[in-house]
Structure formats: C-alpha cells, structure tokens
Structure 1
Amino acid sequence: MPQHMPMSPWTREELERRFARSDDPEIEARRQEILQTLLAHSPDVKRQIIGEGQLIEARAVLRRVLARRGLALTSTQEAQIDGCSDLATLERWHDQAVTASSAEEALA
C-alpha cells in the first residue's frame, strides 16, 4: 500500500472545515498544537512558509521606504514588486530606495 496518496477535494474541504480558526481558546490552542507538530515533521514546508513571510515583509518594507521618500509607484512597478520572489533582489531595491531620486531608480 502506498504511504502517500493524493488528497481528495472532499478531504481537503473537511480539513479546512475542521481546522478553521476558532474563537474558542481551547479549540484554538489544540489547532495551534497540531500545526506546530505538523511543521516540526515537515521542515521543508516550514522553510517555505518562513521564506514566503520574509518576501511579504521585504515587499512591505520596500513600499514603506518608497512612500516615506515620496517616490510613487506605477502599476507596473507595483506588479514588479509583487512578482519578485527573490529576497536578495527585494533587499537590493530597498537599499537603493533609501537614496534613489525616483521609484524607477530604486527598482533598477
């Protein structure tokens, strides 16, 4: 018997229903414990989640610096930032945004 089988749509829906956030502190504590246990046994998934969080934060910080400097973004530049999945590039743009005279120069 295979150890891992694809998850059916029904199973996914059931998991989402059963593990949805709850206002009940006891249920929420159990949900968090289950999530921590699953992540402890899935280091690749944990790294992926952390990496995505770092990208989200880097995009937000970049936008904050640009806004504070009064460097307005075009819709194309917004899409460029949203589409960037390389943390080093986002950090480079952030560093450039600190001294850039335009959003275009910051995102070069």
Structure 2
Amino acid sequence: MPFLVARSGQALDDFARWVAPRRPLAWVLSMLEYLAMSTTVREELLWGFAQTEDPEILARRQRILEVLLSVSPQVEERLVEKGRSEGLLEGRLAEARAALRRVLARRQLPLGPEDDARIEACDDLGVVERWHDQAVTAASTAEALR
C-alpha cells in the first residue's frame, strides 16, 4: 500500500471506492485503518460489508470482529456498557408504558388502538412519564397524551 499514501482527497476516495470490491476484506480493512480518506467514503465502505447473508462470510466477519475487540478492550467495554444501558432504558420504558396504561384504565379513560400504538411507539422515557403525569388529572385520553 505505500503508493496509496501519496494519494489524498478525491483521488484517494475514488480509488478506495474502486478497489474495495476487488480486494480481500483484510486488505480493505487495512486500507481503512491506515489511510486518511474522507469520513463519508470510510463509512460507505464499512457499511458495504453488511450486505451479505452468506454464512461463511458472516462467520469470517464474526472472527474479525472478535479479534478487533480483543485488541481494543476499551471498545468492547463501551459496547457492553451501551448494551446494558439500552437494556435498562427499554425496561424503564416498558414499566412507564404499563404504568400509563394502568392509570388510564383505573380512571376509565378509553384507550383506542391508535392511542395504544402511539404509546408503544414512543421511545422517549420523558414523554411517556409526562403522559403518565397528565393522565392522573386528564379529562380524556387525548388530553393525557397531548
């Protein structure tokens, strides 16, 4: 790859797009790791790896990911922490949605299919909690979910 170091800017981006489907995965990953191409092209090439359902390729990618994570423990730690926090958030959202539905039911405020779908689709904990607070005193379901 020494000749690539002399390339930069649009020339490097064009070359990277051209060469990626023609070289082995390890070679392309090495190019992505060492060359200063544009962020747009780097992301485009990285996302290009996701376009297969071939079990052999997926197994190789899994192994590559395992090796990369083993040499980057900080990244692995961040991913594990992210998974934990997302799992906790999903749990809190599920509890908040259930509490909102209980309040609406206890207050005998009808919950139509559209309203229920809206509650289920909301992934903002603050909004669901606000709806819950409003449901305590609201005169209608529409007022609670505004």
The residue type paired with residue 124 of structure 2 is D
CA deviations over 1:13-72 (Å, ceiling 9, x no partner): xxxxxxxxxxxxxxxxxxxxxxxxxx9x81110001000000000000000000000001
Percent sequence identity is: 49
In structure 1, distance between residues paired with 2:124 and 2:130? 10
| Alpha-carbon shift at residue 76 of structure 1 (Å) | 0.4
Residues 9 and 97 (structure 1), Cα distance of their counterparts in 2 relative to 1, 3 Å cut: farther
The TM-score normalised by the length of structure 1 is: 0.63
Pairing 1:52–2:100 present: no
Q: Which runs of 5+ in 1 are unaligned?
A: 12-38
1:1-108 equivalent positions in 2, closer than 5 A: 42-108=80-146
Larger Rg belongs to: 2
Q: Which runs of 5+ in 2 are unaligned?
A: 1-25, 30-49, 59-76
User: Aligned residues, how many?
Assistant: 80
- The runs of 4+ residues in structure 1 deviating greater than 3 Å are 8-11
- SS of equivalent residue, structure 1 residue 85: coil
The corresponding residue for 1:17 is none
| Alpha-carbon shift at residue 9 of structure 1 (Å) | 6.4
Structure with the largest fraction of helix = 2
